[in-house]
Amino acid sequence: MRAAVWHGGAKFLIEERPDPAPGPGQVVLKVDTVGVCGTDVHITQGLFPSTPPLVLGHEFSGTIADVGKGVPKRRVGERVVSDISSHCGKCDNCREWTISRCQNAQRTSGALAEYAVGPSQSAHSVPEGLDLETAALTEPASCCLSGSFMFPMPKDAVVLVIGGGIMGLFTLAFLKRRGARTVILSEPVAARRELGRQMGADILNDPRSEDLKEVVMRATNGRGVHLAAEVVGKPELVARCVSLTRPRGNVLMIGVCPQESNLPSDLYDFHYREIGLRGAFGRGNYFKKTLQLLPELNLKGVISARYPLERAYDAIYDSGQGRGVKLVVKPNG
């Protein structure tokens, strides 16, 4: 099979590798669609720890091509979307934290290749009527759905989402579904703001031309929002969320800030106003639930461009430059 192998920095090579063989409890997937994740971008920029050579790609869908011992043969040909890893349900992390942090997890292989291999448990059947491209959005969407349940949703809540990329769009959609009365989306790219409206945003803000604080104070009678979600991954925007949150309001970090980042915020003010702060990293226990919810969302136009395997790095670079909303790679054409 062909695979796009990352060799550090911006260097990717298309290499011929042996076709994967499934071990016990595993399946081999013919990869259909791979979503480019911010983590992939950060890895190539040196902002997320990873060691080359490596096949990247963990948001993917495909068709089961082969199965290992213990997996029913009838799964061959099944349309599936793959979770990153399996879970045992018995370890401390599964019981006390989340199944997505299982201490005994088996991971799927990188998906920027014609075939990938992983646990049968991680390959979830795609519902009828849901195409494989949309199904590939399950992993990023599940991170947002998990984050949306980090805090209770007050009655008549006003919510702020900073960042209108794919994660911001899913975050606002799920917060709206949870009962937020008003959702404000702050995003400088016009096309993303319009998709925000499609996904349920009530107020759109272009931070380059309209002061976000004024928008928030108008919408909240000067009190600040009940919940502010940072979905970009910049410490200064997390601090911005803190400043725009009402007393005893909450700040949700879905964007991943670089390692060793500090919060540039007045901790006296943070303490005095009793602000809550939570990180939301990963899928939590919501992967399967998210897959069932995707058909209920209006995702028209969310996938902005499709790249062949040979242009995997172009897809990652373009994503890092904010071109489009969700970029995907099609390893098999």
Please state, for a pLDDT cut of 90, what percent of the chain lies above it: 95
Residue 183: alpha-carbon gap to chain centroid: 19
* Tens-place pLDDT, residues 69-99: 999 999 999 999 999 999 999 999 999 999 9
Task: Indicate if 144-279 has the same CATH topology as 2-137+302-330.
Answer: no
> What per-residue confidence (pLDDT) applies to 136?
98
Alpha-carbon gap, residue 3 to 115, rounded angstroms: 8
CB atoms within 10 A of CB 272: 10
> What per-residue confidence (pLDDT) applies to 333?
85
Domain limits, the chain: 2-137+302-330, 144-279
Instruction: Answer positive or negative: Cα dihedral of 275, 280, 285, 287.
Output: positive
Which residue shows structure tokens 């007050």? 154
Alpha-carbon gap, residue 150 to 246, rounded angstroms: 18
> What per-residue confidence (pLDDT) applies to 258?
85
Confidence bin at 48 (pLDDT 50/70/90): confident
Mean per-residue pLDDT, 249-264:
94
Architecture of domain 144-279: 3-Layer(aba) Sandwich (3.40)
Alpha-carbon gap, residue 200 to 179, rounded angstroms: 11
User: Mean pLDDT, the chain, as a whole number?
Assistant: 96
CA-wise closest residue to 202 among 213, 189, 216: 216
> What per-residue confidence (pLDDT) applies to 203?
98
What is the CB-side half-sphere exposure of residue 289 using CA atoms within 13 A?
11
Confidence bin at 105 (pLDDT 50/70/90): very high
> What per-residue confidence (pLDDT) applies to 46?
87
Which residues are within 8 A (CB) of 276 and not within 5 positions of it... i.e. 6 or more apart?
Answer: 151, 248, 249, 250, 251
Confidence bin at 318 (pLDDT 50/70/90): very high
* Res 219 pLDDT > 90: yes
Pick the CATH number of 2-137+302-330 from 3.90.180.10, 3.40.630.10, 3.40.50.1370, 3.40.50.720: 3.90.180.10
* Res 28 pLDDT > 90: yes
Residue 229: alpha-carbon gap to chain centroid: 14
CB 179 within 8 A of CB 154: no
> What per-residue confidence (pLDDT) applies to 47?
81
